Structure 1
Amino acid sequence: MNYHYSVVIQWSDEDQCYVVSLPEWGEFCHTHGDTYEEALQNAQEVLELLVESAVEDGETLPEPLTVGKSFQVA
């Protein structure tokens, strides 16, 4: 898979794990992991499933956010 989607990994004190957001796929698209590495691996697996499902269903893939599109560096 060679897509350039965003993965945001943050520690959650409430959940006591790393929570992962996949912004291009909507505000409710999350996964998690007990370690940073596990959270990243889970994110990669979820992204693969999302892309595979969208392609199979003939849906348009979301456009990846890139530095120039997602935020401005000061």
Structure 2
Amino acid sequence: MTNAVELRTLADYLKLNYPIVLHIDPDGGYVAEIKDLPGCLTQGETIEETLKNINEARELWLETVFELGKSIPLPSD
């Protein structure tokens, strides 16, 4: 992965603010993704639910990749 650095702990990564892209789902509800974290996306019926879900997905993504010892990209500008 490009734009990856070694931070010390999982807590360091969890403190980072990754940009979220929010889309309206044509079938109803919303889809959110964090493009800096490949495959990190979710959906919800409301914006509030979708943002809660993407935060949970971000945490799980970071925990999984950290535990696997893989590189974690930094948030884009």
Query: What is the TM-score of this pair, normalised by structure 2?
Result: 0.75
Residue pair 2:20, 2:35 contacting (<8 A) in 1 also: yes
Write 1 or 2 for the structure with the bigger share of helix.
1
**Consecutive unaligned residues in structure 1, runs of 5 or more:** 67-74
Matched, 1:53 2:52: no
How big is each residue's C-alpha offset from its partner over 1:8-33, in whole Å with a ceiling of 9 and x where there is no partner?
11212x2201111110122x432111
Q: Which runs of 4+ in 1 moved over 2 A?
A: none
Equivalent residues, number: 64
The equivalences for 1:1-74 within 5 A come to 1-12=14-25, 14-26=26-38, 28-66=39-77
How big is each residue's C-alpha offset from its partner over 1:3-55, in whole Å with a ceiling of 9 and x where there is no partner?
1211111212x2201111110122x4321110000000000000000110111
Overall identity of the aligned pairs, in %:
33
Q: Structure 1 counterpart of 2:17, which letter? A: H
> Alignment RMSD, CA only?
1.2
**Consecutive unaligned residues in structure 2, runs of 5 or more:** 1-13
Structure with higher RCO (Cα < 8 A, 6+ apart): 2
